[in-house]
Amino acid sequence: MALLDIENLSVSYGSIRALRGISLKVEPGEIVTLIGGNGAGKSTTLRTISGLLSPQEGQILFEGKPIASKSPHAIAANRLIHVPEGRGIFANLTVEENLRLGAYCRKDTHEIRQDYEHALELFPRVKERLWQLAGTLSGGEQQMVAIARALLARPKLLMLDEPSLGLAPQIVQLIFQVIRKINAGGTTILLVEQNANLALQVAHRAYVLEVGKIEMSGPAAELANSDDIRKAYLGGH
């Protein structure tokens, strides 16, 4: 059974139709990436899955259960975690408090502690800044906090929206290494990325979204070699 199974999903903002009946599946243990141009509806897809938007039609099954009508906090409590575009960190809280909120729905204090140490190991930079107000961090630092925080929820499915946005090359590499590591540790990942080159490198499978529709899908390596994709998204080389 697929971990996440989306059937014929449509979403609108007022009169603007952002998604026009998309279907996609994420199997346990996979990294699936969603690529597409500006305004294609990638973020909208993630927001709908995590309950921030409600679909007009279609259904979303997570672990076989429908979640489309659930509220975002209930979905997060099911360990379907969304790191939104723009990072979604709490600027008025310290880095440490931000991280702790990641584990808001968990009660297993001891293991939280372990995960906390683990997350800080992944991002030593964050560790230096634990007491700083998160709002004063630089963009890259904020992205690290956002991912570290998501890990503290021990997600079954982690949805990342443009994690490399505004990050230095080195950090981008780091983030993608972390994505691999997390995945190797058993976490399923749904990745939205503008940096299609990198995304297709780490992902197992990929979907291409254009103006609210799935245009193409398949194993990531296959898509990376498709001429159309290269021309449209990878800079033509």
Ligand X SMILES: Nc1ncnc2c1ncn2[C@@H]1O[C@H](COP(=O)(O)OP(=O)(O)OP(=O)(O)O)[C@@H](O)[C@H]1O
Query: Residue 163: which of another protein, Mg ion, ligand X, none does it interact with, CB under 5 to 8 A by kind?
Result: none
Site for Mg ion in 22-81 (CB under 5 A): 43
Query: Residue 102: which of ligand X, another protein, Mg ion, none does it interact with, CB under 5 to 8 A by kind?
Result: another protein
User: Is residue 135 within the footprint of another protein (CB under 8 A)?
Assistant: yes
- Give the one residue of 55, 102, 140, 163 binding ligand X; rule: CB under 6 A: 140
In the complex, minimum distance from the CB of residue 112 to ligand X, in angstroms, rounded to a whole number: 26
In the complex, minimum distance from the CB of residue 160 to ligand X, in angstroms, rounded to a whole number: 12
In the complex, minimum distance from the CB of residue 7 to another protein, in angstroms, rounded to a whole number: 23
Site for ligand X in 11-70 (CB under 6 A): 13, 16, 18, 36, 38-44
CB under 6 A: which stretch of 10-18, 62-70, 174-182, 216-224 binds ligand X?
A: 10-18
For the chain, give the DSSP string.
Answer: --SEEEEEEEEEETTEEEEEEEEEEE-TT-EEEEE--TTSSHHHHHHHHTTSS--SEEEEEETTEE-TTS-HHHHHHTTEEEE-TT----TTSBHHHHHHHHTTT---HHHHHHHHHHHHHH-HHHHHTTTSBGGGS-HHHHHHHHHHHHHTT--SEEEEESTTTT--HHHHHHHHHHHHHHHHTT-EEEEE-S-HHHHHHH-SEEEEEETTEEEEEEEHHHHHH-HHHHHHHS---
Distance in Å from the first CA to the final CA of the chain: 38
Which residues of the shown chain bind ligand X in the complex (CB under 6 A)?
13, 16, 18, 36, 38-44, 85, 136-140, 166, 194
Which residues of the shown chain bind another protein in the complex (CB under 8 A)?
35, 37-39, 50-52, 71-74, 76-77, 81-82, 84, 86, 88-93, 97, 100-102, 104-105, 125, 135-141, 143, 149, 153, 162, 165-173, 194-198, 231-236
